[in-house]
């Protein structure tokens, strides 16, 4: 079993959500810190991003924020970060967050969160990595997405094995348990995609 240390968390930058989302973000952060995980995230000082990062920090975890220059210059970075990394662009930011982390979790979020976690799923699908990918399904927020993922597989837009590549956790505890027990599945992309190997 490969030990996971650095966890990338994608989450909403909104300050206008129901309390339950902030509570779960903070609970996850506390459990991350207590279980020895460090955080890599978008470095923001707003929304669930901040609630989660602050809780990680308060529970003794290290917090690394990665922001594109534009957001950093707008003063959107958080003071809870032990380290702030400024990238040229949004795309290089995602790459940096990926390189720095062993696993990723999406808390409830909007388009930014969805974009970030989707890229990780596609990378895993094509065997660029075998990292743990978790959605924290606070308040059933991702129920419809879960159904959509099932439809993608049912209609053969993705292989059956993809159902095991993404984990939907109902609680922060479940998310942490998944990371603690995660066994990466390495596979041969040529065999899985049923394409000929180049000679």
Contact residues toward ligand AMP (CB under 6 A) are 10-14, 42-44, 46, 49, 67, 71, 76, 109-113, 116
Least distance from ligand AMP to the Cβ atom of residue 158, Å:
23
Nearest to 48 by CA among 112, 94, 132: 112
Least distance from ligand AMP to the Cβ atom of residue 127, Å:
24
Q: Considering beta carbons, is residue 14 or 159 the nearer one to ligand AMP? A: 14
Angstrom distance (rounded) from CA 45 to CA 99: 22
Least distance from ligand AMP to the Cβ atom of residue 114, Å:
7
Report the interhelical angle of 19-34 vs 47-58 (nearest 10°): 30
C-beta nearest to ligand AMP: residue: 112
Least distance from ligand AMP to the Cβ atom of residue 34, Å:
23
Q: Considering beta carbons, is residue 81 or 179 the nearer one to ligand AMP? A: 81
Q: Considering beta carbons, is residue 66 or 165 the nearer one to ligand AMP? A: 66
CB atoms near residue 157 (< 10 Å): 9
Angstrom distance (rounded) from CA 43 to CA 185: 30
Q: Considering beta carbons, is residue 13 or 175 the nearer one to ligand AMP? A: 13
> Can you list the positions of beta strands (E) in the chain?
6-10, 38-41, 63-68, 83-87, 103-106, 132-136, 167-169
């Amino acid at each position: 079993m490969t030990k996971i240390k650095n966890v990338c968390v994608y989450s909403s930058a909104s300050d206008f959500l129901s309390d339950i989302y902030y509570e779960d973000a903070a609970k996850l952060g506390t459990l991350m810190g207590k279980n020895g995980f460090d955080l890599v995230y978008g470095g923001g000082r707003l929304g669930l991003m901040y609630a989660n990062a602050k809780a990680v920090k308060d529970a003794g975890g290290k917090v690394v924020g990665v922001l594109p220059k534009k957001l950093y210059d707008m003063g959107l970075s958080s003071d809870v970060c032990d380290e702030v990394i400024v990238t040229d662009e949004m795309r290089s930011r995602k790459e940096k967050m990926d390189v720095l982390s062993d696993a990723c979790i999406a808390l409830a979020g909007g388009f930014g969160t969805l974009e970030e976690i989707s890229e990780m799923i596609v990378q895993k699908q094509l065997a660029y990595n075998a990292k743990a990918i978790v959605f924290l399904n606070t308040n059933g927020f991702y129920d419809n997405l879960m159904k959509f993922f099932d439809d993608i597989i049912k209609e053969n837009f993705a292989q059956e094995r993809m159902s095991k590549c993404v984990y939907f956790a109902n609680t922060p505890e479940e998310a942490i348990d998944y990371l603690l027990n995660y066994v990466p599945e390495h596979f041969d992309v040529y065999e899985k995609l049923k394409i000929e190997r180049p000679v």
